[in-house]
Structure 1
């Protein structure tokens, strides 16, 4: 059975188990068997996510450094870097606009009539955007690896790659070591992915049993706004980019990324999916390791289309829930801050809530509004993570095609059953 099919089986069984755990309380001798089972399943899911996160730091660092060093021409590296960042910014802005349009059209927060906090003063508050950007510079690279701060790891990797190139022959042994580390990490990824169906089962069972159907019904319009915007991004923007910019067929792209799609959806983590995304890009899409490593590693933190949609919809939802008018000036602030805050998102479950506080602060909205959506944010992130990883992959295909570093025979030969 193919990996993506196993993951989907784990998803279905996880939903069934989650409904069973959340519906009935089983008590024997004053001891809750249901709570015990819930805790065991929850711990296993957390352990699986930790295994995936364990890979991210070294994979991002080694892939980015190796990719940059192999692109030895400074002009070529600069061209690829500028194109990548511009592509990411373009797709992120479109994602934010989709989110805004749907939030104003569906009005998910209208009718909730939440009272404003007594100490809330409407108006723009201090924004930590400058702090967010400067925090990307690591004071201790080892601490960045220990804390899993991917943005700081990327910054360190960029400087490290430049230093290797400037060192000439002295830097070659270091590059060879990093090339070996990169290959070892891919082998470790394949091993850990054998546990994916079981980890997915645990994660989905926990999410379903914790959230509950009643809360989902209450915030259904909020979730629909997010989902429809994400679907529009995936099935309108990305195919247009593939056909018009990369000039490749669309179907092989989704076929080649199916393992990464299944994992991102079930783990709600685009960062944890990075090792599998890199594997799909190299093995199925036919991208060169250098382009895949550079673009996808950078995109794992810098490009968050799904997160940007979530920020836009959540902010408008909270404003509508509290009856606060959203002016044109606030919309401009929302677009700018959502674009910047998406860069700082770590791509792991729960990070979107933290970054949303920055957006709310900039728009002068009560931060207490986060409580309204916290319960279903994990469900929103399942689809959001898929959009994140697909946005990175589309950019990688585009860059690889413009640099003639894609094996188009391999790209178009992929089937659903591989």
Structure 2
């Protein structure tokens, strides 16, 4: 019996409390972005090709830069995306709260461009050519309303400093980042999401992430870590470490987390001999992804775990004790979904007592 999941990353943009539009052709760093129309937030989609820009200019009494579109129904939004723009005009309307600059050929973000936009809430500059020494963020220090800053797919080599304290999401995926600017996060106590996947980080030193007291999701997948990095924010509930090259996972690799729920370690080259039996001994864990590694036996996981992904390994031995240290009326695994497909075992090789341990299992893939 072989069943497969097919995961699709989408952006969900809610028009109201009951309806949503599913969009899958935009990349905002790997995590869906919710748009709340009740808050007056505009669409993240480009207006290019959807409405004639001439119609905007003929009917909109407000001043609009020549290289941008200014929608009448979102007067605080400025769409300057996907136009081959190389330089941003310094005469952006002061009313701008949502600035979309993604998909251009912009190589620098000068101080003078943003200094006057004191009400800015979103700044999206994904898919440009901006380098760290050309990103002048000092002008953002007084932007107390800025909540989202996306600079995925640029040429940044370090995490920038000078971001405002009110920031909630910082997305810097797929750059060339290998270091952190000193004190980059010391004022970002409201940040809940930090995306750094697809960069060149090798280590995280003590103090590098200081200040991230409310960080919920940290994605550092696809970097150059040789071991699970230490000194991570203890508040993190979603930790993504896939596509690194770990020599193993120690007993204390994930100590210090207060409420870790979702842990991804797929495609890290992990072998059963290098994974300590107590490495995942966290009762708070809900989901654990160990797919596409080199495991030969099922790892020991907490009985409270509900979702375990082990597909694409070399597993040929199923140990009931990996899921239940003992089996009884109140002693059993809370596992709901278990993936074992793409390994070296069949359904007939499962031991007969596995059903007593995994008694609430809803699906098994093998």
TM-score normalised to the size of structure 1?
0.21
The structure with the largest strand share of the pair is: 2
TM-score normalised to the size of structure 2?
0.23
